């Protein structure tokens, strides 16, 4: 473990100028930090919000400027369009791609994730093959959708893919969604509710193919014409969006000696990063999509949570702990994960993590009505709750999840006097 920190920090550096980075900067100033504050970002933009990119921005409902609000007295220097290239823990310095070397007393790693690229580089390089992570990605895809493609192929059964598919239907564009698993959204919601969302997508005209994988793309003259599936099917389309997950932005940390890999940067429960040998680096913190930490809501398993709410909460905790002197004590990051998605005219909300759930109960409403709350249990405890257009019940269940209440925590809701427990 490194030596205990002495003295208040005078220079704080944040690498990753996005949601978590900006939230930390605001929290530092709110707690009275008056020293130098610099945010380094590889994108040329000031911090902006990503959730609208797959929703309102693609539909053309917002202007495409989703810049996050900044406090007028933030007093932060932004080094934008310049990636951090390496970290020297002993010298407490970060080197940028332009050669600048920035010293720090405290460092926050908030470099998030990027879209996982399509695995075949030739196909990934086609002008008609898109991913969606950044504002620039959204601008390019939005322009292409507005040009009226014949058919869009969406690869991937996650939330972003389904939101884009929903937007395509709103724009009256034919869309095929290819999901490798037996149900969409199954990682987050389990097969039962994922299958229900798949049914809604089909009702709204999505050509949903399950257990489907692409063998290759046909692109005569460099323009996408069709995809061939492994089962021999051929689908004509002129746009393909690969929504096949994310990759954590940790390459710049290679050689720094941290416990960082594809699964993220490992930190302790207080947000302090660990060296590869497990020692704590007391002056370096991580927050947001790039961070994984022992999660009290998942039996202290190392978990990375790629959600908007977590990025903000974790950044605030890290900021608080960056400034805490040894006497003030550190606070744990115990935010209960929460997430929302808007698709096919519905709002889905999730609190907790349904991953590993062994039981499910619909506790309000019903799948047939299209409005419900579903609870997830694991080993007799309530671990997550999902709502579709019924979010007003969620806070009560969030409290039950926090308390590790038995599953199900309550019996006898007005609209659900007898709860049936089934497989998730």
Ligand X SMILES: Cc1cc2nc3c(=O)[nH]c(=O)nc-3n(C[C@H](O)[C@H](O)[C@H](O)COP(=O)(O)OP(=O)(O)OC[C@H]3O[C@@H](n4cnc5c(N)ncnc54)[C@H](O)[C@@H]3O)c2cc1C
Question: What does the binding site for ligand X look like in residue numbers (CB under 6 A)?
Answer: 15-21, 40-43, 50-51, 53-54, 83-84, 110-113, 132-133, 160, 249, 252, 288-289, 306-309, 311, 339-341
Q: How far is the CB of 408 from ligand X (least distance, A)?
A: 25
Token pair listed for 104: 């720090």
Cα 218 to Cα 73, 131, 229, 350: the distances in Å are 53, 18, 11, 38
Q: How far is the CB of 347 from ligand X (least distance, A)?
A: 10
Closest CA to 16 of 63, 55, 50: 50
Quick one: 339 or 372, whose CB is closer to ligand X?
339
Write the CB contacts of 342 (distance below 8 Å, at least 6 apart in sequence).
Answer: 55, 163, 166, 348
Quick one: 359 or 390, whose CB is closer to ligand X?
390
Token pair listed for 337: 């994960």
Q: Are 321 and 330 in contact (CB under 8 A)?
A: yes
Quick one: 248 or 378, whose CB is closer to ligand X?
248
Place of tokens 């921005």: 57
Q: Where are the beta strands (DSSP E) in 249-397?
A: 260-261, 264-266, 272-274, 280-286, 291-295, 301-303, 338-343, 346-352, 359-366, 371-378, 381-388
Quick one: 219 or 384, whose CB is closer to ligand X?
384
Quick one: 229 or 302, whose CB is closer to ligand X?
302
Q: How far is the CB of 3 from ligand X (least distance, A)?
A: 27
Q: How far is the CB of 243 from ligand X (least distance, A)?
A: 9
Q: How far is the CB of 422 from ligand X (least distance, A)?
A: 27
Quick one: 123 or 306, whose CB is closer to ligand X?
306
**How large is the C-alpha radius of gyration of the chain?**
23
Provide the pairing of β-strand 93-96 with 101-103: antiparallel
Q: Are 28 and 319 in contact (CB under 8 A)?
A: yes
Q: How far is the CB of 21 from ligand X (least distance, A)?
A: 6
Quick one: 265 or 361, whose CB is closer to ligand X?
265
Q: How far is the CB of 315 from ligand X (least distance, A)?
A: 7
DSSP string, 363-422: EEEETTTTEEEEEEEETTEEEEEEEES-GGGHHHHHHHHHTT-BSSS---BTTBSSPPEE
Q: Are 107 and 92 in contact (CB under 8 A)?
A: yes
Q: How far is the CB of 78 from ligand X (least distance, A)?
A: 11
Token pair listed for 79: 């080094």
Quick one: 52 or 377, whose CB is closer to ligand X?
52
């Amino acid at each position: 473990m490194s030596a205990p920190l002495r003295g208040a920090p005078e220079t704080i550096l944040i690498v990753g100028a996005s949601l978590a980075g900006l939230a930390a900067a605001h929290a530092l100033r709110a707690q009275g930090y008056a020293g130098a504050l610099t945010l380094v970002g590889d994108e040329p933009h000031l911090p902006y919000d990503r959730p609208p990119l797959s929703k309102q921005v693609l539909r053309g409902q917002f202007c495409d400027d989703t810049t996050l609000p900044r406090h007028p007295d933030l007093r932060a220097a932004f080094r934008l369009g310049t990636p951090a290239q390496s970290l020297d823990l002993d010298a407490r310095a970060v080197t940028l791609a332009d050669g600048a070397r920035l010293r720090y007393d405290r460092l926050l790693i908030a470099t998030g994730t990027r879209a996982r690229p399509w695995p075949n580089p030739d196909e990934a390089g086609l002008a008609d093959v898109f991913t969606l992570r950044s504002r620039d990605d959204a601008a390019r895809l939005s322009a292409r959708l507005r040009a009226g493609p014949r058919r869009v192929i969406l690869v991937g059964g996650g939330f972003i893919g389904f939101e884009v598919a929903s937007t395509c239907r709103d724009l009256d564009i034919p869309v095929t969604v290819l999901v490798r698993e037996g149900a969409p959204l199954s990682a987050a919601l389990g097969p039962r509710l994922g299958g229900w969302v798949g049914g809604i997508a089909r009702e709204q005209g999505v050509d949903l193919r399950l257990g489907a994988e692409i063998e290759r793309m046909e692109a005569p003259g460099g323009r996408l014409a069709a995809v061939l599936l492994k089962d021999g099917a051929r689908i004509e389309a002129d746009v393909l969006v690969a929504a096949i997950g994310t990759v954590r932005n940790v390459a710049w940390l290679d050689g720094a000696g941290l416990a960082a890999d594809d699964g993220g940067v490992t930190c302790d429960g207080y947000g302090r990063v660990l060296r590869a040998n497990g020692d704590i680096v007391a002056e370096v913190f991580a927050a947001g999509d790039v961070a994984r930490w022992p999660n009290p809501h998942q039996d202290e398993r190392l978990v990375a949570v790629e959600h908007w709410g977590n990025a903000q909460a974790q950044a605030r905790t890290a900021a608080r702990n960056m400034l805490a002197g040894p006497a003030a004590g550190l606070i744990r990051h115990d935010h209960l994960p929460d997430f929302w998605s808007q698709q096919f005219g519905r709002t889905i909300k999730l609190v907790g993590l349904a991953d590993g759930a062994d039981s499910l109960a619909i506790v309000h409403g019903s799948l047939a009505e299209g409005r419900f709350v579903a609870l997830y249990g694991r080993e007799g405890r309530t671990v997550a709750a999902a709502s579709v257009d019924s979010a007003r019940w969620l806070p009560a269940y969030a409290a039950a999840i926090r308390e590790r209440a038995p599953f199900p925590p309550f019996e006898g809701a007005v609209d659900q006097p007898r709860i049936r427990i089934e497989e998730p």
